[in-house]
Amino acid sequence: MSTDCLFCRIAKGEIPAQVVYRTPTAIAIRDINPQAPVHLLVIPLEHVETLNDTADAEFLGSLLVAAREVARRERLDLKGYRVVVNNGVEAGQTVPHLHLHVLGGRAMRWPPG
Ligand code: 5GP
Ligand code: ZN
């Protein structure tokens, strides 16, 4: 945990968020600035900055499993949805605490900007 990290503080309940799902190791919240009708963030409770910082397959796998579960709960699984991890500056990562975006509820374009 990092005391000055936004997502650590949300994970600890110090900053309010709309939590839609919890596992022992992660939470899923609604993004404050949604880019699609459904825009969720899967956030591990453990502070890991980016994908560069861990190769723990169980940890990373658990985040993907949480992403598919929230997509299913939001009924995105039939029509489709996108799971995005922005890593570092050029990818547009703004919060340095690893998180998965789950986006759905509209048609997506490719390639992403
Ligand atoms: P990134 O740009 O790092 O991939 O994604 C960070 C995401 O966190 C952005 O989509 C942004 O809208 C979201 N975000 C930033 N601050 C907050 C907050 O305080 N609460 C919630 N729920 N989402 C946030
Ligand atoms: Zn953190």
pLDDT tens string 28-77: 999 999 999 999 999 999 999 999 999 999 999 999 999 999 999 999 99
In a domain, 63, yes or no: yes
Enumerate the active-site residues: 99
Pocket of ligand 1 (CB under 6 A): 6, 17, 29-33, 41, 86, 92-95
In a domain, 90, yes or no: yes
- Per the structure, the complete domain to which residue 29 belongs is given by 6-104
Our count of domains for the chain comes to 1
What CATH number does the domain containing 54 carry? 3.30.428.10
Q: Which residues pair with 101 in a beta bridge?
A: 41, 84
For range 96-101, the mean pLDDT:
98
CB 60 within 8 A of CB 54: yes
Atom index in ligand 1 nearest the CA of residue 35 equals 10
Q: Against a cut of 0.95, is the pTM above it?
A: yes
CA of 35 to the centre of ligand 2 (A): 22
In a domain, 109, yes or no: no
In a domain, 14, yes or no: yes
